[in-house]
Structure formats: C-alpha cells, structure tokens
Chain A
Amino acid sequence: SFQDDTALSTTMAAYGVPPALGVAPEMMEEISTGTTIMACQYDGGVVLGADSRTSTGTYVANRASDKITMVTDNVWMCRSGSAADTQNVCAYVKNLTEEHNMQRRGDLDPGMADVKLVANLTMQLAYKNKDKLSAGMIIGGWDATLGAQVYGIPLGGSMQRVPFTVGGSGSAYIYGWCDNTWRENMTREEAEGWVARAISLAIARDASSGGVVRLVTIHSKGSSRQMLEPKHQSLCESELPVIPRKVGGVVG
C-alpha cells in the first residue's frame, strides 16, 4: 500500500534503509521546514520573521536554521515546505535576478532589484514546477519604485501582493490573532514586536516550529537581522519562564 514508490525509495535511500524492508512511507519524512514564517509591511519598510526549527518527522534536524534567505540586499525570501525545494528555488531566483540586474541596471545599484521582479520569477518557478515542488514562500523587500512590498507565493504557485502574510505549518494557529491585531503603517519597532509576538505564539502551539525567532528588517537604507532567543520571546498563557542554563559553569 505504498502511495508513491519514487518518493519512498528516495527518502528511504537517503537514510540508508533498503526499500525492501517495506516500511510505510509515512514513517520516514523528507526534511521539511515545518515552520512559521511571516512578513509584514510597516511605514517605510518590511519586517520578515521566521522560527528556526527544521524537522524530519518528529526529529529536529536543525534547531537554529535560517529560513530567511537573501536574494538581493533589498529583497529577502522566507522559505517553508521542503527544505531542499526552497533552497534550490531560492538559488535559481538569485541567479535569474542577478542576470537580469546585469542587463537592467549595469552599474547603478548593483545590489538592488525590483521586489516585484523577484516575486514574479519565484512565482514562475513555483507554478511551472508545481507538481514537483512543495514550497511556500514569502518575498519581502523595499525598492524605489513601489516602496515596501510583501508578496505571498503559496503552494500552487499563485502570487499575491499583501500588506502582511503568514506561512508554514505554524501559521494556522496565528491567522486569527494576526488579522485581529494588524494595523497599517506601524512604526518599525511596533512591526518588529508584532512579528516576533506572532511567531512566539505559533511556536507555542505548533510542534514543528520552535527555536529562535529570526527577524529581518528591510528599508530604504538597507537591511538588518536580529535573533530572539527563547528567553527573550514573550511568554504565552501558562508558560513557565525559560530557566537560564549553566554553560560550562557560567549561568547563561
């Protein structure tokens, strides 16, 4: 009763388990970024946020992964779904964007690209390979033409410009909260706080999300990254505060 023989043999072979063992496919999962990612526009830029847990089934493959990848200085991409798929899509998009930039801008602003362009390229890749890919992405950035922009490109390869969006498995738990607390034209600090809180809430309830909260803020002057460790994340209902751990005899 194997649903997909090829998927089975790839995942099994990856773990060195011969297919003949007949283990059901559901027992072995591909490496996936079971995730919470989000991006939102604020007055003057965008904030992208993500958790940092990469899981293969119940095993946490990486507890400090970086799901927000730079495409150009002013455009970053949040990745969710299959880690392999999104990493490769991102590499293609980076390459195509650079090629386009060479023709388009030459020596002006070599590090900058139109956010809409990056989003369209990602959408084309996602849509044309929709039967093979399992990748949900969020593109966020700032450019001089249209200012701060956020584009959501979910599983099927559709693209939509939005003021804010969430993605990944953890997003399901925070849709309502985000819709309720979202405000237009927040300041940078408010937006960063809002995104961090949303991701903390998702981490609290989603088993596939966890670790640190990573934030990237992009505005007209550039971009900056932050990381919020669990002890700095806001607490949710009935959670205990994080106990500082002793690291080599020194309290962390």
Chain B
Amino acid sequence: DRHAGMAGTGLAPDARQIVSRARSECAQYLSFYGDRIPAQILADRMAHYMHLFTLYWSVRPFGASSLMAVKDEHDGYALYLLEPSGECQRYHGAAIGKGRQAAKNEIEKLDLGNLSAAEAVRHVARIVYATHDEKDKEFECELSWICDASGGEFKRVPKHVVDEAVEAAKAALESDDEMDA
C-alpha cells in the first residue's frame, strides 16, 4: 500500500513474490477492516507466510531477505527485517545482502535516534558505496524513503537529493582511498 514499501536481496524472483504477497495482504486488510494495515500486523503476516515455506517438504524456503518500511498511525515509522526462516524483527537500522556485515558495522556507528531523513539518506548512500566490493561490477544506487518529507508515503527519493548523496558518497570513498594510499 502507499504507506509501506520493501527492498529485497537474494533471488530476485523470490523477492518479487514476497512483495506480491505483501501487496495482497495490504489489499485484503483494507477491504475487510477499511483501513491501512498497521506495521505490526503486516510484519506478522509476512513472517507467517515465509515461515510456511519452511514447514513443508514440497516447497523450498525463499531465497531472499527483505527490508520492509512501514508508516503506522500508532508506531510511527517502522523498519522490519524479514528472513527466509520466517523471522521478522523490528530494527532501528538493518542491512541485508552480500556486504551486510560491513554495512551493519557502519550503521552501528550512527546515532540513529537523532538523524533526520535527509541526513540518513546521505549516510545510507555513503555506506552502500563504501561496502560495495570493488571486484564486482558497477552499480546504480537506488534510494527510497518514507518520511514526513515524502508525505508518509513510500517513494523514490527525489533525484536532486539522490544525486547530492551519491556525489558525497563517491567523494568520501575517494578521500578514503587517498588516505589508504
């Protein structure tokens, strides 16, 4: 729904399936309860769904983890990490994918309670660039957010903000390289 969004890593089709299910859950909740699905309930439903695939021999567990960002009337902005085991945990900061260990270390250094959304975008871009393995190919950094600036809706971060953050990230990377050298 408008107030929730996801990002996934791992097998892309599996990640798409998870998103598709999340959309159905939102739609079903809206049609029965007449309101947008609360974060906790969506997380719960998704966890159940993913767990289902670990119970039966006839199916395989999902090959994808995802991060879910939801805006909730009561809980405000919530970030959930969904894993193939069916675990679904709320976090202040989380990372998934190949470079997640390094990314988690970087995130732990941040004072998450006091960051504004704009500052967070810059940090995220910086961390993505910093933890990207140089041996891999070039990549595009895609950023989405859900915050007061986006009107409480899950949207792509506006281009000028992305460009600025990516420039800053690349600059930080170069200066790090210089220091290393």
What is A's interface to B at a CB cutoff of 8 Å? 100, 103-104, 114, 116-117, 119-121, 123-124, 145, 159
Looking at the assembled complex, report how far the CB atom of A117 sits from the nearest CB atom of chain B, in whole angstroms.
6
CA distance A116 to B34 in the complex (A): 8
What is B's interface to A at a CB cutoff of 8 Å? 32-35, 38, 40-41, 44, 73-74
CA distance A121 to B41 in the complex (A): 17
Q: Give 19 A-B contacts (CB < 8 Å), ordered by A residue.
A: A100-B33, A103-B40, A103-B41, A103-B44, A116-B34, A116-B35, A117-B33, A117-B34, A117-B35, A119-B34, A120-B32, A120-B34, A120-B35, A121-B32, A121-B33, A123-B34, A124-B32, A124-B34, A145-B73
CA distance A121 to B38 in the complex (A): 16
Closest to A105 in B: B74
CA distance A119 to B44 in the complex (A): 24
Question: Interface of chain A, helix or strand or loop or mixed?
Answer: helix
User: 9 tightest CB-CB pairs across the interface, nearest first?
Assistant: A120-B34, A145-B73, A120-B33, A103-B41, A117-B33, A104-B38, A116-B35, A104-B41, A124-B32
Q: Which residues of A contact B33 (CB under 8 A)?
A: 100, 117, 120-121
Looking at the assembled complex, report how far the CB atom of A109 sits from the nearest CB atom of chain B, in whole angstroms.
10
Closest to B41 in A: A103
Looking at the assembled complex, report how far the CB atom of B49 sits from the nearest CB atom of chain A, in whole angstroms.
15
CA distance A159 to B32 in the complex (A): 13
Q: Which residues of A contact B35 (CB under 8 A)?
A: 114, 116-117, 120
